[in-house]
Structure 1
């Protein structure tokens, strides 16, 4: 918007009409005091300022404007009929003006200058936007690089831990062979197998991340029995965690369209996380129902919970809750993979939780084919 400041009404009206005719949005002020009040409320790209005015003259107005932070990028053109000497023109520039036009002025010249200043303003605005976006992109990449470095460090540690354990158990097996004690041998082999399973899970997660990044993760969608899938997963995990009470409410019956293996992967991730992050607790609630042709599945634990400021981040890649990362193993990518799987099913994934009050993870996907 352009602000014209002039104590002569005819000058205001004529210049305003010309500028509006050429598509400019124009505001007016009949004194320097009124102009200062208006700039505190409205932002202007350009101020066309008469020099000779009662009260505050144009130079005083320009100097006052220079002290207002919001007008630091506002261009000022002085118009003067009386003060046409070089000393006044020089004062105009030193007061903050970008141009000084003496009257009588050719309206076409004024219009040309206004268009030029507007073009410069638009170019400057676009350059500033590009600079802001570039700085934002640089900051995002610095966060991404930090997360990447942190992930590599965590992954190296997490992969070394089961490898070291397997190596240790193999050494124990070697020492126990000569003693001929099958029970001890079996115990060491079982422990080694547990560590190998953990290592396999970590590698599977890493491969899934790689496939997602390259767009090569394949989904094989078909209709499958959701109740049977849920029952099978719960049965296996209940067997592996006999000290936990699984409170199950499965009212979803029938076929659901999707990748059965990937949906199973999400469910297993939810339940194993519920067990991991609820030390000292022995109860997990699992619910499933179909409503309005959508499958709803939730897993609720009664463990450490998640603080409100971290809820929006738990599905981010490589994110690990700070206070839990020291106490719980993992790469911080299981929930990210789960969210990608549910997104590929045109579904919704989320969590409800409060710190110290457990967490309820859930997903919702369409029952029918809608690809």
Structure 2
């Protein structure tokens, strides 16, 4: 928008008419004081400012607005009948003006100058946008680098922990065998096996991340019965976690189309997390049911829960809740992998949670192949 400031109404009318005819948006002020009030409220690309006005003259107005943050990129063209006065021209430039036009105004010259300033303004704005985008991209690279470094550190720790534990149990196992204490040796051997399984899961997650990044995560899609899968899985999870009662709710009652192993992987992740993040709870609920053309699965715990701001990011890669990261270790990739698996099944994954009251992780997937639906 252009602001014309002149105490002569006839000058304002003629300038406004020419500029609006050339598709410029125009505002007007008949005094320096009125101009300042408008500049405080609006942003202008260009101000056409008469020098000789009663009260505040054009130079005083220019000096006053030079300190306004809203007007710091606004160009000023001075208008004056005293074109031959070098002192006035010099004062105009020192007051913040970028150009000077003498009266009577040659409208063609004025239009050329206005168009030039607008072009410069547009180029400057585009450059500022590019700089802003570049700064954001640099910050995003820095954040990605920070997350990568943090992930490497966490992964190294998570991998080192079971290895250290395995090494310790092997030493204890050797002592038990030296004493011919077979019962103790079996217990310690089982603990070694548990740590090996934990290590295998960590490595599997790391490999899945690599495959997702390279687009090579493979799926063996076919129809399978989900209820027997869930029965077997819950039986195994219950045996491995006798401290919590796993309550099953509902049945699917039909075959679904998907990768059986990958769906099981998601369910295991949900149940493992539910147990992990509700150490003081006595039960968790696993629900499965058919909803129209979809099947619905959820795992509900009664643990620590999470705040709403974390729910938006919990499925992001490497995302870990800072408040619980020290107490509950993890790589921050399990739920990201789950999200990739469910989306590859054309499904939807989500969470409902209340801080201090527990969480319910869920997903929907279609029962049939999308290709079959199209046929």
TM-score by length of 2: 0.93
Counterpart Cα distance in 2 of 1:183 and 1:341: 42
Structure 1 residue aligned with 2:341? 341
Aligned position for 2:330? 330
Report if aligned partners of 1:76, 1:96 keep a CA contact under 8 Å in 2.
Answer: yes
The secondary structure found in structure 2 opposite 1:361 is strand
Unaligned runs of 5+ in 2: none
* Residue in structure 1 matched with residue 358 of structure 2 by the alignment: 358
**Equivalent in the alignment of 2:232:** 232
Distance 2:99 2:342 in 1: 61
Give the equivalent residue in structure 1 for 2:250: 250
Alpha-carbon distance between aligned partners in 1 of 2:175 and 2:251, rounded to the nearest angstrom? 53
Structure 1 residue 228: Cα displacement: 2.8
1:8 aligns to what? 8
Q: Which residue pairs with 1:168 in the alignment?
A: 168
State the distance in 2 between where 1:84 and 1:260 align: 89
SS at match of 1:113: helix
Contact 1:246/1:283 (8 A) holds in 2: yes
- In 2, distance between residues paired with 1:21 and 1:205? 66
Q: Which moved more, 1:166-175 or 1:236-245?
A: 166-175
Structure 2 CA distance, aligned partners of 1:269 and 1:335?
7
Contact 1:51 1:83 (8 Å CA) reproduced? no
Counterpart for residue 102 of structure 1: 102
Cα 1:24–1:168 shift into 2, 3 Å: same
Deviation at 1:232, TM superposition (A): 2.5
Q: Is the 8 A contact 2:224 2:260 kept in 1?
A: yes
Shift of 1:255: 2.5
Which residue of structure 1 lines up, in the alignment, with residue 28 of structure 2? 28
Deviation string for 1:239-265 (max 9, x for gaps)? Answer: 211232112112322132332222211
Return the offset for 1:105: 2.9
Q: Are the aligned partners of 1:246 and 1:285 in contact in 2 as well (CA < 8 Å)?
A: yes
Distance in 2 (CA, whole Å) between partners of 1:366 and 1:14 is 68
Does structure 1 retain, via aligned residues, the 8 Å contact 2:47–2:75?
Answer: yes
Could you give the per-residue CA deviations for residues 285-324 of structure 1, whole angstroms, max 9, x where no partner exists? Answer: 1112222322222111111221333222322222222232
Structure 1 CA distance, aligned partners of 2:295 and 2:14? 68
Q: Distance in 2 between matches of 1:213 and 1:84?
A: 70
Q: Which runs of 5+ in 1 are unaligned?
A: none
The farther-off stretch of 336-345 and 263-272 is 336-345
1:125-140 alignment to 2 at 5 Å? 125-140=125-140
Deviation at residue 84 of structure 1 after TM alignment = 4.2
Kindly report the root-mean-square deviation, in angstroms, between the aligned alpha carbons of the 2 structures: 1.9
Please say if residues 52 and 82 of structure 1, whose CA atoms lie closer than 8 Å, have aligned partners that are also in contact: no
- Cα distance 1:33–1:271, how it changes in 2: closer, same or farther (>3 A)? same
1:89 positional shift: 0.8
Q: Distance in 2 between matches of 1:221 and 1:84?
A: 86
TM-score of the pair, normalised by structure 1 = 0.94
- 1-structure distance, mates of 2:228, 2:297: 14
Q: Which runs of 4+ in 1 moved over 4 A?
A: none
> Structure 1, residues 87-125: CA drift from partner, whole Å, max 9, x if none?
111111111111111112321211111111111111111
Which residue is 1:150 aligned to? 150
Deviation at 1:205, TM superposition (A): 0.5
Match of 2:276 in 1: 276
Residue matched to 1:80: 80
Task: Determine if contact 2:294/2:366 at 8 Å carries over to the other structure.
Answer: yes
Alpha-carbon distance between aligned partners in 2 of 1:27 and 1:256, rounded to the nearest angstrom: 66
Q: Secondary structure of 1:257's match?
A: strand
Moved more, 359-368 or 105-114: 359-368
- 1:203-222 mapped onto 2 (5 Å cutoff): 203-222=203-222
Partner of 1:54: 54
- SS of the equivalent of 1:150 reads helix
Q: What secondary structure is seen at the aligned counterpart in 2 of 1:329? A: coil
Distance 1:182 1:79 in 2: 103
> C-alpha separation between the residues in 2 aligned to 1:117 and 1:77?
10
Number of equivalences = 371
